[in-house]
Amino acid sequence: MSELNTQLRELRERFDAAVAAAQDAQALDAARVAFLGRSGEVTLLRRGIGQLPAAERPSAGKEINAAVELMEAALQDAEAALQSREFEAELGMRIDVTFPAPPAALGAIHPLRRVTEDICRYFQRHGFAVVLGPEIEPEYYNFDALNIPADHPAREGFDSFFLTGNLLLRPHTSPMQIRTMQQHRPPVAVVVPGRCYRRDAVDARHHFQFHQIEGLLVDRGVHFGHLKGMLTGMCRELFGRDQQVRFRPSFFPFTEPSAEVDTTCPLCRASGSPCRMCGGSGWIELGGSGMVHPNVLRNMDYDPAEYSGWAFGFGVERMALVRYDIDDIRRFYENDPAFLKQLA
């Protein structure tokens, strides 16, 4: 019994020395094989158990097992220490922590957001509130309340995406005129930026999703001159101080009279020369506008004899194309960092 003890202690000492001396995984493995391998020293010791008196065999077996457990743990510790040493050596070799880092890529504000924010800021300065509305609307807000009855051909002109029931993806931001007037008594003065959807085939000038900005002012004594003044100011803020605005007679069911709004082409300055932006006409179309139709006011329980108002709805993409001299609307949705950076 004590002889086995001595043998084990002597074996452990040599094993510990071999492990401590191992400089790499190979050396560690050699120690494992020499002591704990199938024909290693511990196996030889185990074989000696058979020659002991039967009564001593169980405790001898236990002692050897306990020693093996300790040896295996020591091997694992040594292995882990070796690996972290190797890892650190690798880090030290390959990574120069003093090397200058590449500059972090800076994001840029999207041109559509920029145009939207500039317009909102302009109107806010003049006392308007910015409000947002749902992109899914019932037909009531999209059409009925805006004086477009169910059988009116203007409904078809909106080429809407219909969802279940009477819900659709809003084809314009005008429904927010109704929601605003439902919630507030006059005076109301709001602008409504937002995404809209229409069943349009995608090309350089059209997309099935686009953005509009809506404006609505209702109060006593509001007239067309106020509209012209505000829109002229808006165009000068967006495109430059010499901008002019003109109105062309048009039709919208929710305004009377109605007009299309044009502004002078900022690219050719209406010089009459051939221009890829305005086609030489000197004018850029921004969208629709007009005096709020009495039927719409009545739908909201506003008395048309007491109150009048104007409204407009402009395409944000159109204004951004012109402002940044871009030739294709699809560029706004491609998320090309080079394109966005160029406009930053």
Which residues are near ligand DAH by CB under 6 A?
A: 172, 174, 214, 252, 255, 287-290, 311-313
Residue 116 or 255 with smaller CB distance to ligand DAH: 255
Instruction: Provide the minimum distance between the beta carbon of 138 and ligand DAH in the complex, in angstroms, as a whole number.
Output: 16
Instruction: Provide the minimum distance between the beta carbon of 121 and ligand DAH in the complex, in angstroms, as a whole number.
Output: 20
Instruction: Provide the minimum distance between the beta carbon of 104 and ligand DAH in the complex, in angstroms, as a whole number.
Output: 41
For 290-313, give the DSSP string. Answer: EEEPHHHHHHTT--TTT-EEEEEE
Instruction: Provide the minimum distance between the beta carbon of 251 and ligand DAH in the complex, in angstroms, as a whole number.
Output: 9
List, in sequence order, the alpha helices (H) in the chain: 2-21, 25-36, 41-48, 57-94, 111-125, 139-142, 154-157, 175-183, 224-239, 294-299, 316-324, 337-343
Residue 35 or 314 with smaller CB distance to ligand DAH: 314
Instruction: Provide the minimum distance between the beta carbon of 242 and ligand DAH in the complex, in angstroms, as a whole number.
Output: 26
Instruction: Provide the minimum distance between the beta carbon of 108 and ligand DAH in the complex, in angstroms, as a whole number.
Output: 29
Residue 139 or 214 with smaller CB distance to ligand DAH: 214
Residue 168 or 311 with smaller CB distance to ligand DAH: 311
Residue 137 or 214 with smaller CB distance to ligand DAH: 214
In whole angstroms, give the CA distance from residue 162 to residue 156.
Answer: 12
Question: 3-state DSSP call for residue 89?
Answer: helix
Residue 11 or 300 with smaller CB distance to ligand DAH: 300
In whole angstroms, give the CA distance from residue 253 to residue 178.
Answer: 14
For 192-239, give the DSSP string. Answer: EEEEEE-----SSS--SEEEEEEEEEEETT--HHHHHHHHHHHHHHHH
- Whether 299 and 320 have beta carbons less than 8 Å apart is answered as no
158: tokens are 């909106």
For 154-172, give the DSSP string. Answer: HHHHT---B-STTEEE-SS
Residue 35 or 262 with smaller CB distance to ligand DAH: 262
Instruction: Provide the minimum distance between the beta carbon of 317 and ligand DAH in the complex, in angstroms, as a whole number.
Output: 13
How many alpha carbons fall within 13 Å on the CB side of residue 291?
Answer: 15
